[in-house]
Chain A
Amino acid sequence: MKIMIVDDSTAMRLIVKKTLRQAGFEGHEIIEFEDGSLAHGAIGRQKPDLVLSDWNMPHMTGIELLERLKAEGIKVRFGFVTTEATPEMRLRAESAGASFLISKPFTPEMFKETLSPFIS
């Protein structure tokens, strides 16, 4: 699978990659972007199977990215890895079409439980 990680924090992108491995999701192609607007341009070209996106990012937030993809009819499995974990934000994510929301900080077990349905 091709998995796209979108987060403006280099440290967090590293942690997400490490946690994917620790959760047993190894051997997948990982591509990274530090901003929603850069990811938006790449999703159409690179066609990832799964997007793991932060919420709060400069230039284009994760929710703005998801809403734009939806408006443009671009179908991609999309979920959030974010500190925005209140019930209101979870509902907003779900309404926008997110498949899941993993709250930061997270464990490999959380990744395994949430992502197993989506990662072969």
Chain B
Amino acid sequence: MATYPMPNEKKVLGILENLFDGIVVAPGKSFELVEAKSMVGVYVNDGGQPVAACATDLALSAVAGSALSMLPTPVCKEAVTSGTLTDSMKENLKEIMNIFSRLLMDDFSAHLKLSSMHPARGLPRPAAMMLLEVRNRAHFKITVPRYGSGYLSVMSV
């Protein structure tokens, strides 16, 4: 079975520092996806099978989704308070999830690509089944200056 390398803090920082000035990446913690109102990016192999996922908790979804196009910080804070991401945040976050595909590949690993992004509560069945088979996980706390912090989990089968 193909494997996908788990990133470390250095790799996450290397990928994200070109998107967000002054970003800080630290070791994180696992979190319950639905309880954390997470957004989940689902990655598929060349055969179209889900093989990996990246999950951002509500805070990071709002922070990253806001910071990418420099939405006003009060809009970001409102999203965290209300528990609802705006359409702009979701679109921005999807592009960030696309870029996260690079966290799961290196020059020697199998190929994968972002297939879709969903709220954790609304995952399609194939993706939900894949998450039950995850064997590799890495967790990070990400801080974007002015916007705030949140958690990222990277997972693969």
Are B111 and A85 interface neighbours, CB within 8 A? no
Within the complex, what minimum Cβ distance (angstroms) separates B6 from chain A? 17
Within the complex, what minimum Cβ distance (angstroms) separates B42 from chain A? 13
Could you count the A-B residue pairs with CB atoms below 8 Å apart for me: how many are there?
Answer: 41
Does residue A9 face the partner (Cβ distance < 8 Å to B)?
yes
Interface size on A, residues (CB 8 A): 19
Chain B contact-residue range equals 20 to 34
Within 8 A of B (CB), among A69-102: 83-89
Report Cα–Cα, A107/B99, bound state, in Å. 14
Q: Mark B69-109, 1 if CB is under 8 A from A, else 0.
A: 10000000000000000001001101100110110010100
Does residue B15 face the partner (Cβ distance < 8 Å to A)?
yes
Are B111 and A11 interface neighbours, CB within 8 A? no
Does residue A28 face the partner (Cβ distance < 8 Å to B)?
no
Q: Which residues of B contact A (CB under 8 A)?
A: 15-16, 18-19, 68-69, 88, 91-92, 94-95, 98-99, 101-102, 105, 107, 111, 113-114
List of A residues within 8 angstroms of B88 by Cβ: 11
With contact pairs A11-B69, A11-B91 given, residues A85 and B114 touching in the complex (Cβ less than 8 Å): no
Residue of A nearest to B108 (CB): A86
Within the complex, what minimum Cβ distance (angstroms) separates B3 from chain A? 15
Are B95 and A12 interface neighbours, CB within 8 A? yes
Are A9 and B111 interface neighbours, CB within 8 A? no
With contact pairs A11-B68, A86-B105 given, residues A105 and B19 touching in the complex (Cβ less than 8 Å): yes
Name B99's contact: one of A83, A86, A87 (CB within 8 Å).
A83
Q: List 19 A-B contacts (CB under 8 A).
A: A9-B98, A10-B91, A11-B68, A11-B91, A11-B95, A12-B95, A56-B98, A56-B113, A56-B114, A83-B98, A84-B113, A86-B107, A86-B111, A88-B111, A103-B102, A104-B98, A105-B16, A105-B19, A107-B18
